[in-house]
Structure 1
């Protein structure tokens, strides 16, 4: 796709930076590197992890998103995978991204949370701030959710 506001090289660099940011997101969650997780989110990021029948309040702000992940996911073993993303640059500093995903989350026996294997898509907006791409808005839409 040709963009009038960026050179071909700038487009490729943006795509690669966006992909790397999302890959880092998955790794930092799975490795429980909470102090670094905030580095993938814009300061005023918003996360929407509601599912049908399970409304969850929007998480607003990088620090809140990281805190909720840490509190909820820390006791679990997790594997997050994202696959080839569709990336549409809206401007030199904004992109819409759709990424197929799969996650496998197991909580310790006796936990109040269900262990599961899920599949779906992330619908996201990324923004570039001072040349670095960050997740501005993320919404996870699950297609399948298997309790394990």
Structure 2
């Protein structure tokens, strides 16, 4: 793997920032601007307690979607009444195919994320803070970059005020 060209890296970082902002503001209808329809999304829990990694399971749902449509369907409904903010770092990006020149069509990225969620517009009520790493594959299609695979490894999750 090799260094990602500047323009590709900045496009991916910008789109990752958009991912966070769109999720935080419930603008799920804009996600096709940043992710392919065939994008896959999987969220797993991994902690330092010796237990094996496991798919996040909440409210009877495994957080493992084989398409953008399934991912959006779930979060557009469940996050409708949640205030949230996601913060990511600049990420670690590497070309996965090609020779590192601008003709590579796949980038592997890892972004550290910290996120907060809670009852909307209130100082009291439920508050959750989580953290982990997004492991992602980005694909160039028709000259633009799109999220193709997201695998989130959550290693911190605390809920208070329930």
In the alignment, what sits opposite 2:132? 120
In the alignment, what sits opposite 2:28? 34
The 3 A distance-change label for structure 1 pair 49 and 86 is: same
Deviation at 1:57, TM superposition (A): 4.8
Deviation at 1:132, TM superposition (A): 1.1
Q: What is the aligned counterpart of 2:90 among 81, 84, 95?
A: 84
Question: Structure 1: how far apart are the matches of 2:66 and 2:140?
Answer: 18
The 3 A distance-change label for structure 1 pair 2 and 45 is: closer
What stretches of structure 1 of length at least 5 have no aligned partner?
Answer: 4-9, 109-113
In the alignment, what sits opposite 1:60? 66
Partner secondary structure for residue 133 of structure 1: strand
Q: Does 1:104 align with 2:110?
A: no
Structure with the largest fraction of helix: 1
Q: What is the aligned counterpart of 2:43 among 31, 45, 49?
A: 49
User: Size of the alignment, in residue pairs?
Assistant: 138
TM-score (norm 2): 0.77
> Does the 8 Å contact 2:107/2:139 carry over to 1?
yes
The 3 A distance-change label for structure 1 pair 104 and 130 is: same
In the alignment, what sits opposite 1:111? none
What stretches of structure 2 of length at least 5 have no aligned partner?
Answer: 46-53, 98-103, 121-125
In the alignment, what sits opposite 2:123? none
Instruction: Using CA pairs under 8 Å that are at least 6 residues apart, name the structure with larger relative contact order, 1 or 2.
Output: 2
In the alignment, what sits opposite 2:12? 18
The 3 A distance-change label for structure 1 pair 83 and 57 is: closer
TM-score (norm 1): 0.84
